[in-house]
Amino acid sequence: MEHAIQRAKVLVEALPYIRDLWGRRVVVKYGGHAMVDPELKRLFARQIVLFQHIGIQVVVVHGGGPQITSMLDMMGIETRFVEGKRVTDAKTMDVVEMVLAGGINKEIVHLINAEGGRAVGLSGKDGRLIRARKLYSSRTHPDGTVTRDLDIGHVGEVEEIDPSVIDAVEKAGYVAVIAPSGVGSDGLTYNINADTVASGIAARLKVEKLVILTDEAGVLDADGRLISSLTTSEIPALVKRGVVTGGMIPKLECCVEALEAGVVKAHIVDGRVPYSIMLELFTDSGIGTQVVKG
């Protein structure tokens, strides 16, 4: 009986959050271990289906870096990185597109549909959803000098997003599942960082929430404790003091860009935790770091 009462309390606690999000949009960047572990993949799909059934419209943007590297290794194609960015020639881009749009994207769609939802897979090329701009990189050498404007191939950044494709998919009752690629004015396909695409789509749609799933508990303070809530004005000091480092910096930059464009809240959440999105959005305490403008 006590267990049943506790479950009822959880539902009651979730009610005001569900009510506030009803009829609104949420963008979820799906990546990390949650895309690899079979049980976490199933639970992710169930959460998306739940949101769909209670009137919360979710747009899923997914990554796939480790899967791309694995496929390149299997095909004997060397993987090279410059300052964390994959050097992507035409042959590598073919593999990237095959893995992202042809493999991972369709698997996510299948998982959502299998759990009783309705999903459609898209890439940034579909309906000119994402117009890309070629992204150049820079390299810092051991002597401190910097080489700028390095050509790393078919790597891009978001130039413009046309939301009409997403609107049409949602109007028909489907969840849009988006692979992070786009087309440049030169007609070439470009691979784009999934966090950047998620942030760009969230900003263009001015959604209620942007949720970034990662393999970390969230943003941690100098003592390694979770910072449950953070304002955009606090972020530069954390970076300057070395509290926030590595891959968390660009994730927070994506959050800031989305918030500056009108997104209400951004959340960085540990995707390794079962039901992580629900725990973050539907409970009083949450489990990750929420970022708000201020």
pLDDT per residue as tens digits for the range 108-148 = 999 999 999 999 999 999 999 999 999 887 777 676 676 67
By three-state DSSP, how is residue 75 classified? coil
Q: What is the pLDDT of residue 200?
A: 96
How do strand 181-184 and strand 175-179 relate by DSSP bridges?
Answer: unpaired
Tell me how far CA of residue 161 lies from CA of 124, 156, 254, 258, 273, in angstroms.
Answer: 9, 13, 15, 13, 31
Q: What is the pLDDT of residue 199?
A: 97
CATH number of 2-292: 3.40.1160.10
With b for 16 or more beta-carbon neighbours within 10 A and e for fewer, the 36-56 pattern comes to: eeeebbebbbbbbbbbbeeeb
SS (H, E, C) 18-53: HHHHCCCEEEEEECHHHHCCHHHHHHHHHHHHHHHH
Q: What is the pTM of this model?
A: 0.92
Q: What is the pLDDT of residue 141?
A: 66
Q: What is the pLDDT of residue 265?
A: 97
How many H helices and E strands in the chain?
A: 10, 14
Tell me what the pLDDT averaged over the chain comes to: 91
Mean pLDDT to the nearest integer, 150-170: 92
Distance separating alpha carbons of residues 115 and 90, to the nearest angstrom: 36
Q: What is the pLDDT of residue 83?
A: 72
Q: What is the pLDDT of residue 80?
A: 82
Q: Kindly indicate the confidence band of residue 39, based on its pLDDT and cuts at 50, 70 and 90.
A: very high
By three-state DSSP, how is residue 124 classified? coil
E strands in the chain: 25-30, 57-62, 81-82, 85-86, 119-123, 130-140, 146-161, 175-179, 181-184, 189-192, 209-214, 229-231, 265-270, 289-292
178-229 confidence digits (pLDDT tens): 999 999 999 999 999 999 999 999 999 999 999 999 999 999 999 999 999 9
Domains of the chain by residue range: 2-292
Q: Are 244 and 230 in contact (CB under 8 A)?
A: no
Q: What is the pLDDT of residue 143?
A: 67
4-30 confidence digits (pLDDT tens): 677 777 777 888 888 999 999 999 999
